[in-house]
Structure 1
Amino acid sequence: MKKIITAVFLIITATGFSQQLTYRTGGNVYNAENKKINPMEVRALMANNNEALSLYNAGRNKKTWGNVLLYGGSALVVANLLVGLTKDEKYVTTYPGNGYYPSVQAERTSFTAAIIGGAMILGSIPVKIGYARKVKSALTKYNDGLAENNQPAYKTTLVASGNQIGIKIEF
């Protein structure tokens, strides 16, 4: 009997924590079976916990803006450097002497877009760091809510009759 009660107790505690979510690199959320869950499924799981859901949505929003800044800045830098390093503005100023040998001058391309792109890349770093913190805190709040809601409710009573006495435990 002792083994059966222990086995039942372990099964109940294992099922109480089976819906916990974990965060891994790249903003991916995994369930207890180590299966990757897409953001829509995570939002569906967090529908009952408004605080965790709002933190998760804020984290995903930060991830989107961080990606826009990072990839947009990278595109600006690459495009401006490719154009700037391969093409110069050339123009003819004068035809000295007999006019057969023009004086050609070149002006370098401005790298302003590359500087703006670099600033966007630098600005994306704290945004992308911040989204991971928000998602982790949302998952912590969700998992804490699961632990509070799924506490096993044990009820123990003392049972006595004319011939016996015992303890009754209800799960």
Structure 2
Amino acid sequence: MEDAKRLGIKACFFSDSFAAYRLDALEQVGGFPERAIVGEDVIVAAKLLRAGWKIAYVADACVYHSHDLTPLQEMRRYFDIGVFHARESWILREFGKPEGEGLRFLRSELRYLWQHAPWRIPESFLRAALKYFGYRLGRAERWLPLGLKRWLSLQKHFWDREAEELRARKRGDRARGE
């Protein structure tokens, strides 16, 4: 947790696409959550840090992992990240908000594109705007209708399950005469 002050939200950043966990540590914090739209790896990492465990980023470990998303898919991915941050707000309170990370990334990307692919700069601005829009909508998801959330999301199954749980609660309320 000592790195949380210095690194902010990056202290609990974790990529489960290439990760190893100590079983006893994972079990101590309750394992992976059953109901997370995305970010189950970050939830576990934050809980591990909170419980006094350490996590490590090993720069010389190699894996190829990418998301080849269209701009609309990228907006949907960031909607899901916004939902994750809204529903797991304790992580932002304890580790800090990602404010400014998107802008830092955009600046870095623009510097690279200026030198290597300047014709892609307009696309970079479009993607950045869509990611920001998606993220902000995700953070406000509690005020959006379920059908719109499902359309905005890459994780359709998450919202299908949420809809089924809502229907089950309504059936239960009717059965009790409420």
Band of TM-score, shorter chain: under 0.3
Structure with the higher fraction of residues in strand conformation? 1
TM-score, length of structure 1 as denominator length: 0.25
| Larger Cα-atom Rg | 1
Structure with the higher fraction of residues in helix conformation? 2
